Amino acid sequence: MAAPILSKKSVCIVTGATRGLGRSIALSFSKSLPSGSLLILLSRNIGLLNEVVSSIHQRDGIRAVAAAYDQGSRDENTFDSLISHCMGKAEALPDEFEQSILINNAGTLEPIDFMRDLDNTAEMSNYFQINLVGCLALTAKFLQFFKSSVTSPRIRIIVNISSLAAISPMNSWGLYCMAKAARDMMLKVLASEEENIRTLNYAPGPLPTDMLTTASEKTKDLDLKKWFEEQIAQKTLVDCDDSTRKLMAILDKNTFENGSHVDYYDEI
Amino acid sequence: MAAPILSKKSVCIVTGATRGLGRSIALSFSKSLPSGSLLILLSRNIGLLNEVVSSIHQRDGIRAVAAAYDQGSRDENTFDSLISHCMGKAEALPDEFEQSILINNAGTLEPIDFMRDLDNTAEMSNYFQINLVGCLALTAKFLQFFKSSVTSPRIRIIVNISSLAAISPMNSWGLYCMAKAARDMMLKVLASEEENIRTLNYAPGPLPTDMLTTASEKTKDLDLKKWFEEQIAQKTLVDCDDSTRKLMAILDKNTFENGSHVDYYDEI
């Protein structure tokens, strides 16, 4: 049986780490990963990000660095030296670590619209820039930096924060469904292309995040809107830390099929 | 049992209609659709497109108009009045037709690269602009123009030219797989959102088109490249007209599940 993923000395990059699930993953991983591990936290909001880093610094033997990161940036330089910059800031070298982890958590929901109303090309272009192009560029840079070769094999783990929407259509959430389906496929292709890689599409369940508040306020489809309102009213949402625990359990069991889609509610 | 789709007087829009499968669909549909039907053919290459229109004009009772169309355009105006412009050119009104059909055939393959090399954000942005944003904008305009309401129900049929790559990862074809997966999801959402709609993701098989020549020359994964070379050498590719016949048989049988993915090789 494969070793638990989180038992190895790791460098772990988390995007969108200031709030919600990203923050929960950063904090929870910092408590589970062995001494010497490094967390690289990325987000547009460097102020909030530094607070997360401060919390992690209270734990012995775990390093954390933060960097401002706009996944929707159209400036090539955003991605070019980001990882090496963060590694330098932490005075860390790739070979210090047994493995590298990338958690592609950053993502956006709006514009929320029925397909028949999705005709604003600038808005849609921006949506795919953040949710597909930026995610692809960061992932490529991650694979280039933490290269694996025959002489120097190196395990890379990539987690995509997916959604039920990746496999099941949700009315008036067309762009979100399309981007999530594309990102699930991204990790399927990666799993097929690369040696020494583990990739997982994890659907975290409905979380009480800002995105869910937006969903309950702005979803155009009335049935779906009502469903979100009821989840909030009846407090049946999944706590971010609970969802992170499930993700950690999946990674530690380490039996998931490469590139597969696993939901919070799935038996593992 | 539902009536054969191609037996009804239709207005039918085909993107990428100058060559390969798009051209075959335009010509074959013009021979099957009843008198009074109108074909609207779109492509970047208006010269070649006019030749296809001339061939169709030889058939009695079928109208055809052509318009230059760049699906990757970032100019909102590209999509805004395209359909009404074409309808005007044909002196046609929406209510003349029993149904409207949109064949989203236009698409691109390059850049072909392994995921680890996909770090050119401008190229990727352009890729999703053509294959997702433009396709979404045209589809929204189609639904807005051929609106269905309770008082005036109108059948709309949307076919996405999909690929095996939409459901199965292909090494070094990451962008193509992602866009095709997203476009399959697009028609699943549409099927769920709209009344009076039929949507089909049709994977046409390996066709002897320019795209396949590019595939055999530029595919980075050596096993996949070899597969394409063998298909070409052994002449085991699917003829465009054969694939169109299969698509027409699926539409005429009209029992496909809305939003489903049907392959050329599937039993229907």
pLDDT in tens, B74-85: 988 899 999 999
Rounded CA-CA distance A3/A156 in Å is 14
- List all residues 6 or more positions away from A6 whose beta carbon is below 8 Å from its beta carbon: A29, A32, A33, A248, A251, A252
Percent of chain A with pLDDT over 70: 100
For residues B108 and B127, the answer to whether their CB atoms sit within 8 Å is yes
With a cut of 80, say whether residue B36 has pLDDT above it: yes
With a cut of 80, say whether residue A107 has pLDDT above it: yes
CB-based contact (8 Å) between A82 and chain B? no
Determine, for residues A172 and B181 on separate chains, whether the beta-carbon distance falls below 8 Å. Answer: no
**Residue B212: φ, ψ to 5°:** -70, -35
With a cut of 80, say whether residue B172 has pLDDT above it: yes
pLDDT in tens, B46-55: 999 999 999 9
With a cut of 80, say whether residue A58 has pLDDT above it: no
Residue from A75, A115, A143 whose CB has the most chain B CBs within 10 Å, to mutate = A115
CB-based contact (8 Å) between B163 and chain A? no
With a cut of 80, say whether residue B241 has pLDDT above it: yes
B259 contacts on A by Cβ (under 8 Å): 169
The three-state (H, E, C) secondary structure of chain A, written as one string: CCCCHHHCCEEEEEECCCCHHHHHHHHHHHHHCCCCCEEEEEECCHHHHHHHHHHHHCCCCCEEEEEECCCCCCCCHHHHCHHHHHHHHCCCCHHHCCEEEEEECCCCCCCCECHHHCCCHHHHHHHHHHHHHHHHHHHHHHHHHCCCCCCCCCEEEEEEECCHHHCCCCCCEHHHHHHHHHHHHHHHHHHHHCCCEEEEEEECCCCCCHHHHHHHHHCCCHHHHHHHHHHHHCCCCCCHHHHHHHHHHHHHHCCCCCCEEEECCCCC
CB-based contact (8 Å) between B139 and chain A? yes
Which residue of B lies nearest to A192 if distances are taken between CA atoms?
A: B171
pLDDT in tens, A207-237: 999 999 999 999 999 999 999 999 999 988 9
A122 contacts on B by Cβ (under 8 Å): 74, 76
What per-residue confidence (pLDDT) applies to A195?
A: 92
Determine, for residues A140 and B119 on separate chains, whether the beta-carbon distance falls below 8 Å. Answer: yes
Name which of B238, B243, B235 is nearest B202 in CA terms: B243
Rounded CA-CA distance A191/A134 in Å is 19
- Min distance A264 CA to chain B CA atoms (Å): 22
With a cut of 70, say whether residue B1 has pLDDT above it: no
pLDDT in tens, A146-195: 998 888 888 999 999 999 999 999 999 999 999 999 999 999 999 999 99
CB-based contact (8 Å) between A124 and chain B? yes
B83 contacts on A by Cβ (under 8 Å): none
CB-based contact (8 Å) between A212 and chain B? no
What topology is assigned to A5-207+240-263 in CATH? Rossmann fold (3.40.50)
A169 contacts on B by Cβ (under 8 Å): 185, 188-189, 191-192, 259
Percent of chain B with pLDDT over 70: 100
Determine, for residues A133 and B121 on separate chains, whether the beta-carbon distance falls below 8 Å. Answer: yes
Written as one letter, the residue type at B12 is C
Rounded CA-CA distance B202/A227 in Å is 33
What per-residue confidence (pLDDT) applies to B153?
A: 85
Average pLDDT over all residues of chain A:
95
pLDDT in tens, A188-204: 999 999 999 999 999 99
A84 contacts on B by Cβ (under 8 Å): none
What per-residue confidence (pLDDT) applies to B64?
A: 97
With a cut of 90, say whether residue A59 has pLDDT above it: no
B183 contacts on A by Cβ (under 8 Å): 178
A73 contacts on B by Cβ (under 8 Å): 121
Determine, for residues B134 and A121 on separate chains, whether the beta-carbon distance falls below 8 Å. Answer: yes
CB-based contact (8 Å) between B181 and chain A? yes
What per-residue confidence (pLDDT) applies to B148?
A: 85
CB-based contact (8 Å) between B70 and chain A? no
Residue from A74, A76, A116, A168 whose CB has the most chain B CBs within 10 Å, to mutate = A116
pLDDT band at A1 (very low <50, low <70, confident <90, very high): low
